[in-house]
Structure formats: C-alpha cells, structure tokens
C-alpha cells in the first residue's frame, strides 16, 4: 500500500508574495524553516 502525502497547513499573514512563490517552488527562507522543523520532528520521533 502506498503512503499518502501529508498536508501541512501554514498561516502566512504578513509574508511577502515573493517568499510564498519561492515556497511554492521548494526554495527560499520559508522552505528552509519548514525543512528545519521537519528535521526536528523526525529526530524527536
């Protein structure tokens, strides 16, 4: 059985549109923060 993709819901108030666009393409400062948080969650189990 294939695992379904998980959904992440983020509040984006006050975020620049260029930062949101970068996130959409998988790059930029928001994506770095998301990756950092996911890494922390994986370490903690």
Give pairs for 14-19: CB < 8 Å, separation 24+.
none
Residue-by-residue pLDDT tens, the chain, 45 positions: 677 778 888 888 899 999 999 999 999 999 999 999 989 999 997
Quickly list DSSP for 1-45. -PPPPP------TT--HHHHHHHHTT-SHHHHHHHHHHHHHHHH-
Query: What pLDDT, on a 0 to 100 scale, did the predictor assign at position 11?
Result: 87
Token pair for 40: 């922390």
């Amino acid at each position: 059985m294939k695992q379904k993709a998980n959904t992440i819901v983020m509040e984006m108030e006050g975020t620049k549109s260029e930062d949101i666009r970068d996130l959409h393409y998988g790059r930029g400062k928001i994506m770095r923060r998301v990756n950092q948080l996911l890494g922390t969650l994986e370490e903690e189990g």
